[in-house]
Structure 1
């Protein structure tokens, strides 16, 4: 299926798992490869639950996207051993993603074509071969444009 374009901006990324609304969330602790990324209930403090989705290379039409924490512009999503982390590494090392429309939302796919999967609330996000499963379906809730530096 062809990639679905996404408007660059600030988003909440909702996971489709059973139970109350869950959001893609950066944990507060770091391990070897950065802070594990999980799904968690909506947290009134948006620091670890608002994400910037931006085009990886603005000069390339159809470029994939990179994702980083909205309030920590140097902290981007990285993949190690098919698990998702957020880490302050150079932007060139951030994982690149495409989006694909599926029933009920979007699949988020990495450069290898693996899909982000939320097994259950609190579990680290894994990257798996895509299947038609709701744990691999996400909804992007647009919060506004990418904030200017210092906002």
Structure 2
């Protein structure tokens, strides 16, 4: 499928996992590549659960990068086919595209691998895309990224 554009701004990213509402969350414990990014229950503090999604470059059709909304110097990177959040220069952030699927969207890396969450609390991994609800996500637009 062709990539779809999204409106730049602050989002909550919902995982399609059976059970209570689950959001993409930056953990507070860093390991070798940064803080693992997991799916977890809604946390009333948005510090680790709101993400700025914006084009990597200001050209039409550009892929997107993700940064923590409340820690804008920290963004998503991939290491060992897993998602981490780390403070790296913007040029080193991983770029992603989005595709429509039944029930939501699929988030794909530059290598064409899809985000996958096996269960609540699991670190998000990247896998070959397939029709799987564990690779389906919903983007909840919260606000423009220039507002607090």
Tell me the TM-score normalised to structure 1 length: 0.96
- Correspondence for 2:136: 137
Segments of 5+ residues of structure 1 without an aligned counterpart are none
Are 2:95 and 1:93 aligned? Answer: no
User: What CA deviation, in whole Å up to 9, does each residue of 1:77-118 have, x standing for no partner?
Assistant: 000010000000101110000000000000000000000001
Deviation (angstroms), 1:61: 1.4
How many residue pairs match? The answer is 148
1 CA distance for matches of 2:4 and 2:84? 24
Tell me the TM-score normalised to structure 2 length: 0.98
Are 2:10 and 1:16 aligned? Answer: no
1 CA distance for matches of 2:123 and 2:26? 10
Q: Secondary structure at the match of 1:74?
A: strand
- Correspondence for 2:82: 83
- Correspondence for 1:34: 34
Deviation (angstroms), 1:31: 0.4
Moved over 4 A (4+): none
Segments of 5+ residues of structure 2 without an aligned counterpart are none
Are 2:51 and 1:51 aligned? Answer: yes
